[in-house]
A and B are shown apart, each in its own frame.
Chain A
Amino acid sequence: MGSTNVTPRIRDKVRDGEPLSLEDGIALFEHRNLLELGLLANEVRERLHGERTYFNRNLHINATNVCEASCRFCSFARLEEGKPGAYTMSHAEAWGKLQARLDARDPITEIHIVNGLHPGLPFEYYTELLAGLKRLQPSIHLKAFTAVEIFYFHKKYDLPIAEVITRLRAAGLDSIPGGGAEIFAARVRKKICDDKCTGDEWLEVHRTAHRLGLRSNCTMLYGTIETVEERVDHMLRLRALQAETGGFQTFIPLAFHPDNNALMKLPGPTGVEDLRTYAVARLVLDNIPHLKAYWIMLGVKTAQSALWFGADDLDGTVQEEKIYHMAGAETPQAMSPNEIVRIIRNAGRAPVERDTLYNVLAEGEALASDKPFRRDVRRHALEVVP
């Protein structure tokens, strides 16, 4: 354990496992020395996970980018069907993405599905989308529909949130991605995404999902107009829900990309700001087990560096990511498992292939051979709350 000059009070709280306050989080964001902050965050990361660094084999499907919401940071959405660049996949097209992976004998364990808020699709479009994917590969884990989408379904189809989730689950939904949280502060949401669900509504969707036994992830969009106080407030609200339900698996800070959207005059976060945000998140969110450096958005080089600033997960192989690439991301749209393993090993970490629920599928020698997946660690199921 190295010495740090982060204020002794905060350092002691972290080492004693005491939750940090809003003031502590702000002080960490304002702490001048990134390396000292990183050292403390790395202590927590290694206490939780040692050298283990997780990844999975996944595929992204963005079935439609037609979206009623007009978030100012978004480069992906098109407001109406028929507008240049707007698309909606047929079921056959979406299913074909998975079929292509099966035909290529390129196994995946997860499909991540996030879409625009399409005003003209029936609810059955989504249930059949899931059901068809499950028919093709019954073992596939479907992590689908952000809380924003689920809340939209609740309003549009006039169904209780729990009913929306239950019906999607019956069709094949296994967990919920963390997108759409942006920044919970009303001041920020009013300026950058005032026509989608509020922060409280986002949290309510996840609370409901957790009570129904589903796990989910959570995110924070940083680098637009928010203050560091609003960032810490966002983290604390997530921490409070986690204390209540225990359903969050991973926190994913999402760096704002300024190209091709209404906020393109903003500079976007810098590399040091990225690492600082990861480190603070690791220290503040003491009850969320994992912190993901989403390489698609951070870039491979920054994501790898984040593995020493609190992050323990690199996401997955992805493929065909559209949302960030339409915002100017210059990363590749996919990485092979071998590439991810090499990046993790080059960082001096131990790669672990996981499934969506962080069951370990392969690690150590198994990752360098053709041995079949191991399934030796099982997470306990979330308790269903009536």
Chain B
Amino acid sequence: MSPGADATSTSSTSIPAASEAAAPPVEDLFALGRRAAAARDAALGRRGTFARSRRLLGSGAWRGPRDASVSYVEAGDLPALGGWAAAHAAGATVVVGADVATLREIAGDGARLVLRAAFRGGESEDARSGRLRALAACDVPLWGVIPTPEGEPYGLDTVRFTALCRLALPVGCHVLADVERLGPRLAQMCLGFGADELLAPIVGERALRLGDNANNPALTRKEAVTLIRGAGLVPAERLLNDALEEVT
């Protein structure tokens, strides 16, 4: 899947106030990371996945390769497309949304649901855990969550929130590290803190990062595999019908 900028609930606040930033973490970073990684390994195996995806735009056009294994639509584009039924008829199988209420309306209608779980700098870890527990207890069957920072993320905040997602959400719920939002370095680190899938456009060949392409977040298949393997996981590509193929 490739993330869509319009679905992230980013704000202009880049850095929280000093008093907020001072909120101390409540569990040792390494203990938290190890618990989350162990939970991931127990639920999904010591595997890191990626998928070639395409996105159905609000205009009705597709962006991404024709042979993508995952076809998704951002919830914000559904009204323009005429609703989920129309998007599904066009080929979309996954909906990415920023709030549970929107996803609840679609649930049970052939859609795989992925939620952008927002967090912001300065929140207490208790508040985050409480929110995630509530999410885990809700009636929406989430396939996965994407930890999504509001504003410019702190590195440690992001890996900690990723670990909390893994620990709070149901066994089998995927935690995706968003390369476009976090950058490849931080997204890879999240794989060490319980994330199990890299979320990035996967392209056949790397174009030089020059001009308008300078900030292109797309990864080649080889780059995705390198990031996953470098994080100590076994890389696997998610194919059609959710089959996983390990990359050797």
Contacts and interface: CB of A to CB of B under 8 A. Distances in A.
Interface stretch (A33-41, A102-110, A130-138): A33-41
A233 interface: no
A304 B232 contact: no
B156 A267 contact: no
A35 B30 contact: yes
A96 interface: no
B32 to A, nearest CB: 10
A272 B230 contact: yes
Contact of A274 (B185, B187, B215, B231): B185
Interface string A256-267: 000100001001
A289 interface: no
Of A264, A267, A305, chain B has the most CB atoms within 10 Å of the CB of A305
Given A39-B30, A271-B188, A345-B21, A301 B232 contact: no
B30 A2 contact: yes
B209 to A, nearest CB: 6
Contacts of B189: 271-272, 275, 302, 305
B34 A35 contact: yes
A2 B37 CA distance: 17
Interface string B45-77: 000000000000000000000000000000000
Of A34, A302, A303, A338, chain B has the most CB atoms within 10 Å of the CB of A34
A328 interface: yes
Interface string B19-35: 00110110011110110
B30 A348 contact: no
B157 interface: yes
Contacts of B159: 305
A346 B15 CA distance: 10
Given A39-B30, A272-B188, A308-B29, A348 B24 contact: yes
Given A259-B209, A347-B154, A301 B185 contact: yes
Contacts of B21: 342-343, 345-346
Given A345-B18, A346-B156, A35 B186 contact: no
B176 interface: no
A343 B157 CA distance: 10
Contacts of A42: 30
Contact of B232 (A32, A38, A274, A347): A32
Interface residues of B, number: 44
Contact of A308 (B156, B187, B214): B156
A341 interface: yes
Contact of B226 (A267, A275, A307, A339): A267
Of A32, A270, A346, chain B has the most CB atoms within 10 Å of the CB of A346
A2 B28 contact: yes
A328 B155 contact: no
A271 B186 contact: yes
A299 B185 contact: yes
Nearest to B192: A34
A360 interface: no
B130 interface: no
Contact of B156 (A34, A272, A347): A347
B192 A328 contact: no
Contacts of B24: 348
A137 to B, nearest CB: 28
Given A345-B22, A347-B156, 18 more contacts: A2-B31, A271-B185, A271-B189, A273-B230, A274-B185, A300-B154, A301-B183, A302-B186, A304-B154, A305-B159, A308-B29, A308-B30, A330-B215, A342-B18, A343-B154, A345-B18, A346-B21, A348-B156
30 contacts: A36-B30, A259-B209, A264-B208, A270-B184, A270-B185, A270-B226, A271-B188, A272-B189, A272-B192, A274-B185, A275-B189, A299-B183, A299-B185, A299-B186, A301-B155, A301-B182, A301-B186, A302-B186, A304-B156, A305-B186, A305-B189, A307-B156, A308-B29, A342-B15, A342-B16, A342-B18, A347-B154, A347-B156, A348-B156, A368-B18
Interface of B: 15-16, 18, 21-22, 24-25, 28-31, 33-34, 37, 121-122, 152-159, 182-189, 191-192, 208-209, 214-215, 223, 226-227, 230-232
Give 6 closest A-B pairs by Cβ, nearest first. A271-B185, A301-B155, A305-B155, A342-B21, A346-B21, A304-B155
